[in-house]
């Protein structure tokens, strides 16, 4: 898809009391965090491109935990 994917920088999101730790992990809930550069979704074409990439992945995640 031509994307560069990696860990969130400079913050890993793994700090205690971060949103996902507090609201998901602490209650045994599965979660997925997605961050993206805003310039990639600043227009309709970019939004459609990311929706086409993320849509199937998110549907598969939802199905796996339903």
pLDDT of residue 16: 63
pLDDT of residue 17: 62
In a domain, 5, yes or no: no
Q: What residue numbers bound the domain in which 28 lies?
A: 19-64
In a domain, 11, yes or no: no
In a domain, 59, yes or no: yes
Q: What is the mean pLDDT of the chain?
A: 86
In a domain, 14, yes or no: no
In a domain, 50, yes or no: yes
Q: How many domains does the chain have?
A: 1
pTM for the structure as a whole = 0.68
Beta strand segments in the chain, E: none
pLDDT-derived band at 13 (thresholds 50, 70, 90) equals: low
In a domain, 31, yes or no: yes
């Amino acid at each position: 898809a031509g994307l560069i994917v990696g860990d969130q920088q400079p913050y890993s999101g793994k700090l205690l009391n971060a949103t996902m730790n507090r609201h998901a992990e602490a209650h045994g809930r599965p979660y997925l965090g997605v961050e993206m550069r805003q310039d990639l979704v600043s227009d309709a074409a970019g939004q459609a491109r990311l929706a086409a990439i993320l849509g199937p992945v998110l549907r598969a995640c939802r199905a796996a935990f339903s």
